[in-house]
Structure 1
Amino acid sequence: MPTVAEIIRNIDKPSFSFELLPPLKGNSIQKVFRTIDKLKEFNPQYINITSHRDEVVYKTNEKGFTERRVYRKRPGTVAVAASIQHKYQIPVVPHMICSGFTRSETEYALIDLNFLGIHDLLLLRGDSSSRHQFYKPEEQGNANAIDLIHQVNNLNKGQFLDGTLMEPFETPFSYGVAGYPEKHEEAPNLDSDIYWLKQKVDAGAEYVITQMFFDNEKFFNFVKKCREAGIKVPIVPGIKPINIKNQLTILPKVFHTEIPESLAGELRKCKNNDDTAKVGTEWAIMQSKELLSHGFNLLHFYTMMATQSVYDIAGAIY
């Protein structure tokens, strides 16, 4: 079976991929399967599955006092990936993140993925914990994505954390990384962000998937700067349809992306989420058609709370 990196490099016609979240703790995987059942008619080239660290939640106990608890709301990335690949025979790309995980926990997850026959990864630093104002690496964890890359590279060579040397895995891990057309929130500028992206590509990343963006010119500028910096691997645009009215303010805050005024103005006119989904879908169709016309044959969609919108977009462009 070709790696996802090989699939991406060899795509020569408009193609589709998308990202899923593992179900909330205690929920069934059937909602995930229903999303795939709805979107599989567009022949997804692969499916990404996100990974999540622990979070702080506040709950009222039986005595009426508020307690602060820390737990993971969405465990199960490895198991969900295995379930999807087994059920649908579609390549899966589980996310591996630094944030919230020790290097040992990462190694155990990688060993499990190897046993399951899953060797495609997306390597990310991950978001900061809600417990800290700024990003803080886990004790005994990888600090940044480049450190995670080195751990995966060492494991591909048969080198484990405790110094044990084994025969390299029969199928090495292949991986991509994230790119930020409007720069990562912590980067001082776009050029600096691209400098670090090149370090990750030089260390072994075989492709880049971008964070969501709503202005194609920002993406085209990002790709141009990447090429000028010597980044030659494929860059896959990530598309998120706006489908809920409050996303007009939430998405810029959470994902640090700018919504063009021409889109924001139309969204402000929307009276409800149905109106919002229509505007967001039309904008994403326009974005997608322009990206395809510029030779970006693979579009990657973020389905979070937007499965119907993604279906409508895919139906309009594929």
Structure 2
Amino acid sequence: MKVIEMIQSAKKTAFSFEILPPLKGSSIERVFRTIDTLREFDPKYINITTHRSDVVYKTVDNGLLKPVVERSRPGTVAIAAAIQNKYGITAVPHIICSGFGKVETEYAMIDLSFLGITDLLVLRGDKAKSEKSFKAKENGHSHALDLQHQINDFNQGHLIDGGKMDPLTTPFSYGVAGYPEKHDEAPNLDSDIYWLKEKVKAGAEYIVTQMFFDNKKYFEFVDRCRAEGITVPIIPGLKPLTVLDQLTVLPKIFHVDIPEDFAKELRKCKSDEEARIAGVEWCTMQARELIQHGVPSIHFYTLMATKSVKEVAQIVY
């Protein structure tokens, strides 16, 4: 059953979450521990992030710096396969433009199709750490919409080199990202929603939002999307704040606002544990209100927050 079908057939607000592949050289056991912690809440699917390769400079024997291409979190495809094999839970790997060429993407889709992993989340991805603005890899895609077209062509049996294969028995289906507070590179929300509508026209079956801490912004975003004719499910993404410095770090990195009522409570906290407890309380409030409004699913971002996500889910699910 596809992700969209699981969401639509759920009798109550569905639960899902996102994990990161372990750092290169680290064990997959940490991923399994996260899943073991949260599987009691019947996750309909688990997202696995994909990380681009970056150029880092390392000192060589002559003392000079040598550029080396390094990927800190490899293994998205393998982890997706391991999750479906071990747990029988649908795995949704991220497919991104950033750092990947069309041919690399095609080979990833071939591998995923062989493994029976046919649900994707399609994203542009972040710019390289060394870049001031996003630049596509040579022979790569600049926008998620372009990546969607490659996936659609692959589903029909069209390969990058002009070759043909039989259309997939189970074609890839996918969701895309949405930004209630707009993407930081978009000139305005109207433009952002225009391109989101184009992504839905191209085949996106659902939208998962960037994290937000003000439900009003989510509801307004949904209303704007509906007014523009976007009818697919819009799944809210939540992240419990877990440490004090996230009060300033999260707005800077993810370009999201923290409501003043929440910020006041965080400023009262004297330790990270106090901030974590406040984060659980705020996220619980958000989740309860979203469920009361009948959202189809809630998607939780678990980085540094597995314990907190469990505490929220114990209350609302």
Under TM normalisation by the shorter chain, which class is it? over 0.9
* Whole-angstrom CA distance in 1 between matches of 2:53 and 2:260: 35
* Whole-angstrom CA distance in 2 between matches of 1:137 and 1:113: 23
CA contact (8 A) 2:8 2:296 kept: no
Which deviates more from structure 2 when the two are superposed, residues 151-160 or residues 9-18?
A: 9-18
Which deviates more from structure 2 when the two are superposed, residues 63-72 or residues 50-59?
A: 63-72
Distance 1:7 1:177, change over 3 A: same
CA contact (8 A) 1:158 1:169 kept: yes
Matched, 1:94 2:117: no
Give the corresponding residue for 1:105. 104
Give the corresponding residue for 1:35. 34
Give the corresponding residue for 2:268. 269
Pairwise CA distance, 1:12: 2.8
CA contact (8 A) 1:19 1:300 kept: yes
Give the corresponding residue for 1:19. 18
Give the corresponding residue for 1:196. 195
Matched, 1:291 2:290: yes
Pairwise CA distance, 1:67: 5.8
Pairwise CA distance, 1:298: 1.1
Report 1:124-273 matches (<5 A). Answer: 124-273=123-272
* Whole-angstrom CA distance in 2 between matches of 1:68 and 1:165: 38
Pairwise CA distance, 1:244: 1.2
1:155-182 residue CA offsets vs partner (Å, 9 max, x unmatched): 0000000111111011000000000000
* Whole-angstrom CA distance in 2 between matches of 1:241 and 1:61: 42
CA contact (8 A) 2:98 2:136 kept: yes
* Whole-angstrom CA distance in 1 between matches of 2:285 and 2:194: 31
Q: Partner letter of residue 311 of structure 2?
A: D
* Whole-angstrom CA distance in 1 between matches of 2:55 and 2:257: 28
Pairwise CA distance, 1:9: 2.0
Distance 1:89 1:261, change over 3 A: same
Matched, 1:313 2:312: yes
* Whole-angstrom CA distance in 1 between matches of 2:102 and 2:30: 31
Aligned to 1:253, the other structure's residue is in SS state: helix
Report 1:113-132 matches (<5 A). Answer: 113-132=112-131
TM-score normalised by the chain length of structure 2: 0.97
Pairwise CA distance, 1:59: 5.0
Q: Partner letter of residue 186 of structure 1?
A: E
Runs (5+) with no aligned partner, structure 2: none
Pairwise CA distance, 1:14: 2.6
CA contact (8 A) 2:7 2:296 kept: no
CA contact (8 A) 1:214 1:259 kept: yes
CA contact (8 A) 2:127 2:134 kept: yes
* Whole-angstrom CA distance in 2 between matches of 1:25 and 1:17: 25
* Whole-angstrom CA distance in 2 between matches of 1:159 and 1:54: 27
Give the corresponding residue for 1:78. 77
Percent sequence identity is 60
Pairwise CA distance, 1:65: 6.6
CA contact (8 A) 1:46 1:93 kept: yes
* Whole-angstrom CA distance in 1 between matches of 2:233 and 2:88: 24
Distance 1:23 1:139, change over 3 A: same
CA contact (8 A) 1:12 1:297 kept: no
Pairwise CA distance, 1:142: 1.1
Aligned to 2:15, the other structure's residue is in SS state: strand
Q: Partner letter of residue 258 of structure 1?
A: D
* Whole-angstrom CA distance in 1 between matches of 2:16 and 2:200: 21
Give the corresponding residue for 1:7. 6
Pairwise CA distance, 1:15: 2.1
Distance 1:164 1:63, change over 3 A: closer
1:97-138 residue CA offsets vs partner (Å, 9 max, x unmatched): 000000000000000000000000000000001121001111
Aligned to 2:109, the other structure's residue is in SS state: helix
1:30-67 residue CA offsets vs partner (Å, 9 max, x unmatched): 00000000100111010000000023445566777766
Q: Partner letter of residue 137 of structure 2?
A: E
* Whole-angstrom CA distance in 1 between matches of 2:285 and 2:191: 30
Q: Partner letter of residue 138 of structure 1?
A: K
CA contact (8 A) 1:266 1:279 kept: yes
* Whole-angstrom CA distance in 2 between matches of 1:204 and 1:167: 20
Which deviates more from structure 2 when the two are superposed, residues 11-20 or residues 184-193?
A: 11-20
Aligned to 2:150, the other structure's residue is in SS state: helix
CA contact (8 A) 1:14 1:298 kept: yes
Runs (5+) with no aligned partner, structure 1: none
